C-alpha cells in the first residue's frame, strides 16, 4: 500500500510541480550538506541515494562537506538546502528547518575497542575505569550517555569518525564511540591497518533512524522526497547502493 501511495504522490507532483520548479528555465540544483567525504563508504552511499532520489524528482544535487556542528547553522540560515542524515529531533531548535518523514537509513551508536581484555557489560562500568574515549564532536548520541560517566581528561572529541578510528588504531585512546556502519566501513587500506581487530563492544543507544532535513523554503518537496525514498527502498535500491559502496572501498 505504501508503495502505491508513493507512486501516486510522485505522479501528482510531476503533473503539477511546485511553481518555483515549473517556472525554472534550467533543472534545479539542491545543495546537500554532509559530514561524510566522497571517498568513504557512507559518503558514497549517501551520494548515490540522493543523486537518484533527486533525479527522479527532476532535479540535481551538489554535495558540500562540513563539520557536524556547522551543518545545522548552514541549513537554518539557508546556505545549504538539505542536511543528509540527522536524528528525529534535529530540527527542534532550528526554526527554519523541517524533517522529511522518511529516514534515509538507520545506524546504532556504539562503543568500539581493539584490546580483548577491555570488557564491560554496561556503560556504567566505565565510571570506575581509567580508559579514554574519543568520539566525533557533536554526536549527541555518544555525548549524552558518556559525558556523565567520564572525567574531562578521559574525553577526547575529534572532528570526524576517521580521526577517532586512527586514534584507536594507534593506541592514543582505549575506546571510541560512533555510528556502527560509519566505524566498521573504514576502508582496508594501509592508513587503517588493524581495522580487522576493531570490534563493537556495546551499544550506547537504540537504533537511530537518520532523516533528511530541509530548509523550510523547500517544504513543498518534503512529501515527494519521502515518497521517493520509500519507493527506492521498496525496489531494494538503497540496500544495493550500500552493498556497492562497501565493495568499492573494500570494507566488510
pLDDT in tens, 68-80: 889 999 999 999 9
Question: Are 191 and 173 spatial neighbours (Cβ–Cβ below 8 Å)?
Answer: no
SS (H, E, C) the chain: CHHHHHHHHHHHHHHCCCHHHHCCCCCCEEEEEECCCCCCHHHHHHHHHHHHHHHHCCCEEEEEECCHHHHHHHHHHCCCCEEEEECCCHHHHCCCEEECCCCCEEECEEEEECCCCCCCCCHHHHHHCCCCEEEECCCHHHHHHHHHHCCHHHEEEECCHHHHHHHHHCCCCCEEEEEHHHHHCCCCCHHHCCHHHCEEEEECCCCEEEEEEEEHHHHHHHHHHHHHHHHHHHCCHHHHHHHHHHHHCCCC
What fold, for 109-203?
D-Maltodextrin-Binding Protein; domain 2 (3.40.190)
Contact 149, 126 (CB under 8 A): yes
Identify the pLDDT of residue 97. 98
pLDDT at 138: 86
Rounded to whole angstroms, how far apart are CA atoms 177 and 154? 13
This prediction's pTM:
0.82
Question: Which parts of the chain register pLDDT below 50?
Answer: 1, 5, 7, 9, 12-24
Q: Taking a C-beta distance cutoff of 8 angstroms, is the pair 212, 100 a contact?
A: yes
CATH 3.40.190.10 residue ranges of the chain are 2-106+209-248, 109-203
Architecture of the CATH domain 2-106+209-248: 3-Layer(aba) Sandwich (3.40)
Look at residues 243, 244, 241, 251 and name the one whose alpha carbon lies nearest to residue 189: 251
In this predicted model, what pLDDT tens digit does every residue of 8-62 receive, in sequence order? 545 544 444 444 444 445 899 999 999 999 989 999 999 999 999 999 999 999 9
Q: Give the pLDDT confidence score for residue 25 in this predicted structure.
A: 57
Residues in Cβ contact with 24 at an 8 Å cutoff, skipping those fewer than 6 apart? none
Nearest Cα neighbor of 242 from 32, 62, 48, 101 is 48
Tell whether the torsion through CA atoms of 114, 170, 129 and 117 is positive or negative. Answer: positive
> Between β-strands 109-113 and 175-179, what pairing exists: parallel, antiparallel or unpaired?
antiparallel
Amino acid at each position: 500500500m505504501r508503495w502505491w501511495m508513493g507512486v501516486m504522490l510522485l505522479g501528482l507532483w510531476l503533473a503539477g510541480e511546485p511553481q518555483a520548479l515549473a517556472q525554472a528555465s534550467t533543472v534545479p540544483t539542491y545543495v546537500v550538506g554532509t559530514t561524510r567525504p566522497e571517498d568513504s563508504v557512507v559518503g558514497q552511499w549517501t551520494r548515490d541515494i540522493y543523486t537518484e532520489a533527486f533525479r527522479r524528482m527532476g532535479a540535481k544535487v551538489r554535495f558540500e562537506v562540513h563539520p557536524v556542528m556547522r551543518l545545522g547553522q548552514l541549513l537554518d540560515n539557508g546556505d545549504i538546502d538539505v542536511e543528509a542524515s540527522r536524528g528525529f529531533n534535529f530540527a527542534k531548535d532550528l526554526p527554519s528547518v523541517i524533517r522529511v518523514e522518511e529516514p534515509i537509513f538507520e545506524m546504532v551508536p556504539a562503543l568500539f575497542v581493539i584490546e580483548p581484555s577491555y570488557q564491560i557489560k554496561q556503560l556504567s562500568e566505565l565510571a570506575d575505569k581509567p580508559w579514554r574515549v574519543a568520539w566525533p564532536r557533536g554526536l549527541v548520541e555518544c555525548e549524552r550517555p558518556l559525558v556523565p560517566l567520564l572525567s574531562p581528561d578521559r574525553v577526547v572529541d575529534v572532528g570526524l569518525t576517521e580521526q577517532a578510528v586512527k586514534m584507536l588504531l594507534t593506541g592514543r585512546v582505549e575506546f571510541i564511540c560512533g555510528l556502527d556502519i560509519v566505524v566498521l566501513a573504514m576502508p582496508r587500506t594501509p592508513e587503517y591497518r588493524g581495522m580487522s581487530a576493531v570490534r563493537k563492544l556495546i551499544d550506547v543507544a537504540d537504533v537511530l533512524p537518520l532523516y533528511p532535513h530541509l530548509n523550510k523554503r523547500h517544504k513543498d518537496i518534503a512529501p515527494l522526497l519521502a515518497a521517493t525514498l520509500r519507493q527506492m527502498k521498496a525496489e531494494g535500491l538503497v540496500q544495493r547502493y550500500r552493498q556497492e559502496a562497501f565493495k568499492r572501498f573494500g570494507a566488510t
